[in-house]
Amino acid sequence: MGNTFSQGFPPKPIFTVEQIPELTGQVMIVTEGIPELGKKLVKLVSSITGALAPSQASHLANFASIRKAVEEFKSKETELHVLFNNAGVMVPPVEQRTTEGYDLQFGTNVLGHYLFTTLLLPMLIHTAKNSPLAHGHARVINTSSSAVYHVPKGGIIWETLGIDASSVQACKTLGTHKLYYQSKLGNVLFSNELARRYASQGIISSSLNPGNLQTDLVRHLNWFVVGLLGFFLHPASYGALTQLWSGTTVDGESHSGKFLIPWDRVGTLGHIAMIKSLLKGYGIG
């Protein structure tokens, strides 16, 4: 609870958009599932630096849509310098599933971004190795949440990740909030594993809590909770700061495998070490 509270009231930002370096010619993608934050991110990168920042609005709850979006992007571009995995859903009705039948939150927040990123990984690696603008690396910035501090005991409840009737029931038993928490842990674990496996090929991968923001992400919460949260929410533009700090600056080159917190600071996830030890029992990591 302490981390969640302190990150809800972060100190004044040190990084500002005026500090973004020259990025003209670099190619970036922002998955825009959190509309206000995604649009702010695209606008800031594009208008301030002149960098190309196309937004891939593919439906991340549909694998076919993801593959189509990647093919369309690859037909237009040969390089990708930065991928901002920004899309997400939070606490929808627990009955909602992806097109393939997975829990909507894990399916969108984790599996969708996993597929999107791995399909683009060859282009990211190619860019890191061959683009004169890349300086030897390409970046993947993964949006998580302070919810990662509240994951269920054991980390990820594997019984909820299937598509059969027993998995649907396991999701109902766990509840939509804990399903969200474990999906945000999934973002961190994926980001860290991406950093570990592909660092030697120039991939920098970080995860972050963008902060408590005024976005449509809270639309599934009841009106009373939304009203209370109003006292603790920051403008969506603030959420772009930590992403841009990690995705565009020299500082970001040291962020691989790290978890960042509002605003533009490196945080800690001490309990993740315990969770990673549990995952090894499943042959992961």
The active-site residue out of 58, 144, 146, 167 is 144
Q: Are 34 and 26 in contact (CB under 8 A)?
A: no
Q: Quick one: how far is CA 271 from the chain centroid?
A: 19
Integer Cα distance of 195 and 172 in angstroms: 33
Told to judge if 144 belongs to the known catalytic residues of this protein, a careful annotator would answer: yes
β-bridge pairing 28-31 and 55-56: parallel
Q: By the 8 A CB rule, do 256 and 204 touch?
A: yes
- Which strand (E) or helix (H) includes residue 16? none
Catalytic member of 114, 149, 180, 238: 180
d(CA 198, CA 138): 10
Out of 131, 146, 183, 184, the active site residue is 184
| Dist. CA 112–CA 120, nearest whole Å | 12
With CA atoms as reference, report the closest residue to 32 among 24, 47, 43, 21.
43
Q: Mention every residue, 6+ apart, whose C-beta is less than 8 A from residue 224.
A: none
Q: What tokens appear for 61 in the block?
A: 């709850």
Active-site annotation, residues: 144, 180, 184
